[in-house]
Structure 1
Amino acid sequence: MDISLRIVIPSLLLFVLFIVDLGEGHNSCPELQCGNGPPIRFPFRLKDRQPDQHCGYPGFDLYCSHSNDTVLELPTSVKAFVKNIDYKSQLIEVTDSDNCFPRKILRLNLSSSPFQFKNSLYNFSLFSCKPDTESSYQVPCLNSASTSVLAFTSDDDIDDLPVLSCTKMYTVSSVPYDIWSYSSLELTWSGPKCGHCEGKGKICRFENNSTDLKTECFDPDKDKGRSRKIMTTVSILGSFLLTLVVYALYRVYSYDKTEKENQARIEIFLEDYKALKPTRYSYNDVKRITNQFTEKLGQGAYGTVFKGKFSNEIHVAVKILNSSKGNGEEFINEVGTMGRIHHVNVVRLVGFCADGFRRALVYEFLPNDSLEKFISSVDSNRFLGWEKLQDIALGIAKGIEYLHQGCDQRILHFDIKPHNILLDQNFIPKISDFGLAKLCAKDQSAVSMTTARGTMGYIAPEVFSRNFGSVSYKSDIYSFGILLLEMVGGRKNVDVTVENTSQIYFPEWIYNLLEQKEDLRVYVEDNEDAKIAKNLAIVGLWCIQWHPVDRPSMKVVVQMLEGEGDKLTMPPNPFASTNPTRINVSMPASHLNQELEVILESE
């Protein structure tokens, strides 16, 4: 081992142990809870999540059930679900799994438990009576079709009780009166006495280094000052450690011959790997690559996507296709289309599996998921910035232009939408999911289709009806235009979550703002951001012209996105209706509110 590593590794370990000791100290027991249950802190302890015994007082162990309920195990294996804990009053409310504590009353013995019943205790005699016996003494959850069960205290006068046709069952001692009629019980505890801590706004815990279960109150706010001291100490030690790390890295990258050779072999492999055509894998290969389908990335109508890896450096996304969906057309489209193309803005197909009825597609793994996560999220931290959005829009346009013009045959995608735009580690966009794609000759002005294909809200009008024109590569341009407008507005074309399901059509709303020379109502920080947003909106409106002949080619779209925004002119109004257009959430555009006849043609 290099001498620098011999110095740095022990230093790192000591530093980590020191920080852990400072950070955790004696208060290393955070407040936890099971699902939506009550908060759990000292004197209680979640024994399945807090193995450290000093986190809770003896006898105050709780655990989470399979259904995420908080469970307290009382003596003689009586399990109770915890509904509430009042730390100040030292009171815990519990209920039985079937809401019938009387059924377990003979096994319930709190003499060896730290908990006691809160209310006054009585001795009871239980009687089995005829089913039609009516009395306020009934125990409802013990009744059956053949008997009614009554509970009387030892103080009750037997002559006044309706027990002529009853048989005594058994006697129960020292239980509260409400155990027979309520679904929950209130238990209290006398020690440890932590209620006074809670009353002062403090928290109870064991005394530091205590060996006889003594407790103390501590103020969590004082830990903030301690944290500042920790940060100061960490900064000083971190600076020293950083110097050691930089020195170690210099030694490793400068003199470690073995590491250099390994890195060179990896780089050569990665370079050769890029040139490989899609490889055919067996289903056993797919299971090995995905580690038996351990990490699920997502699921769609046609299959489930899992994360896989060939090595620690090469990760892939494996899409397992549903055998029950379709007739294999999506699989044939993906392999036949993506196997012949390679472009920086098109996701790369690494390989495929066709093993009997099992089919899978292996893609390059893109860590930043899809564009949809960044333009339709309510989380402002996900906003990428307008310059990045402009770069992404241009990358998508170049990818579509390549599909339309860069291959021997024109590739029509027919499902351009944010969900099918994946982002790599540098947020470079890559078009994915070619399951609906069609091939046609470059000089072919129209393609025939027997049915509409695509995703509602992104489908061009001519795909629904030939009344608007022929289906062609211009249909992809319409979908791209809708995608651009969603990037500008930060919302989906059809929002099914809104209260009013008859909103004005979103693209028309944007057009009206631009036509009236109003600012787009989007988040911008300066004039440059506003300019980018306006340019993207104008290009998007050009792309969604209702008639395909009025839409620009993707080559022109790229030039518009790359050119000077000031030179862009507003397109004609694509919305012909005189009144504000309204849409139903199930329709993709205002013009489709009318009944359209889909013209069937042969392939």
Structure 2
Amino acid sequence: MFGGKIILAGYTTLVVLVLFSVICYAWKILQHCDPSSCGNNDNITHPFRLKGDPKNCGDKGYELECENNRTVLHLFSGKYYVEEINHHKKTIRVVDVGIHKDDCSSLPLHSLTYYNFSNSYQYRLRHASPVVFMNCENPVPSPLYIDNICSKGGGNSSGSVKGQYLYVVVGDLKVSDVADLCTVEMMLPIAQPPWLMSGENRGNISISFLGVHNDMAYGFELCYYCFCPANWSFFYCLMWRIAYYLISVLSLIVLGLAGRALFGLLFMFVFLIYKFRRRHLSMFDNIEDFLRSQNNLMPIMYSYLDIKKMTKGFKDKLGEGGYGCVYKGMLRSGHPVGIKILDKSKANGQDFINEVATIGRIHHVNVVRLIGYCVQRSKRALVYEFMPNGSLEKYIFSQEGNVNLSCMQMYEISLGVARGIDYLHRGCDIQILHFDIKPHNILLDENFTPKLSDFGLAKLYPTNDSIVSLTAARGTMGYMAPELFYKNIGGVSYKADVYSFGMLLMEMAGRRRNLNVFADHTSQIYFPSWVYDQSREGMEIEMGQITEEERAMVKKMIIVALWCIQMNPSDRPSMSKVVEMLEGNVELLQMPPKPSLCPQEMPVEDHEINMDLAELPMLSSM
């Protein structure tokens, strides 16, 4: 906006200067100047001036000279005598200085045609016809060609020099009019004589070169101020010229503004593209710089071409999520892998760095192993060990899976997940918080050994940090700890992963979602509250035909889950304690306080929640 005002002010100043210059010019030329004279020209006045006249007299572009008492006009590098100036008709009659009257052997020194005046704003040819001087190797019988009896060679025949014949042709020439072996030597305009005829009658009248020479000696007329009618006064013509000049200048200004605006739009478009590319290229550069600086990363860096070869052109698609798609691939060694192609529009550079930085540092039986990665500008991919049994999600809910896991298998899976999370929290040289533990992110190998995956939301902290700082809540609704989006409950710490594991453990124990609005009774909508009431009243939970040992395992899983989902983070056990409780005797476990669906206080501020609606388990069941 400010720049546009500066440009407008600049152009306004330019218009004012142009108007001032035009006014000064008009004032100068309207000032009285006595006419100058040279020879027979005694009316040399505006726009003409003689060289040496005062500066305010006449126009510099119409300057004449006086040589040997004859007025001379320099025109297109040629020299011409001024025979007459007619201010009424706005014409000036000139003749080539090489032509002398009554001397037919005198020839013009300069060639001049209509094309010389095509870009001239000072003069235009007026009622002129061309005289063409031809040089031919053989005599030409055509009546259009006039014998040059005055040229060297004399006699009544065409003049010749070293076997060449000189002719003149008057009027416009066609290609068919030019005889063979003839070349054009020079052209000169003459005032159109009455005897010059065109069409069928041309050439029927016998004309001598002497007559043509007399017409050349008479000269030809040029008009000045040709842009206004001849009957206009000098003042009207001047005003017309000023108006024309102003319109031209204003047109140039408008074109300049339009060009400037077009250039500005083009520049802005290019600038936005540049900024967009720089922002993304900067993100890509940050990723590559980070990966190059991490010497302790174990994964292999693949090119995008390698990824395409592994997946055979992304032929076998295993699944799809909010992050992108997963394809089955094959290493050169013949081992199958799962390759996650990150979606350009959803995945960002920080998520990619989180995933590689966390999972690339560790190797644990319950954490999926990152074999390699690909980062090639906007193309990013992660290569994992292949998990043939997919995610835990399809096994928890019997109506969504074809394979039913036994209570013993479900218990072993829960114990493996707990050990994996405990390893992240205290088994490495740095504390890794996952922040997105849910059934979808628990993968199962061929032996149904659970593997934690998807570390896109993970955060790394020193092991001595009990409280971490987050600018926004992260995770999936239904599994997120309440302290992530409610204030005054407690600080965010590793207990957020404990809460998520508790919600996962509750679903694994009950084989149903924690929140189900289609439950038979309103008390069953929030499953943790209902199962707590059932346990406190000593009522058995319907689990089908299972053994007493399996029933004890399920009860143990429920009690541990109830401890993990306590509203206050300080009431939740650590993951090492969770592992200990799961491995211990159910009879030694005490019932925790009843879990609440929400805290007493309401949220005091909104937070950004990093989630994908496709991954909300409670919504997908509605």
TM-score (norm 2): 0.48
The structure having more radius of gyration, on CA atoms, is 2
TM-score (norm 1): 0.50
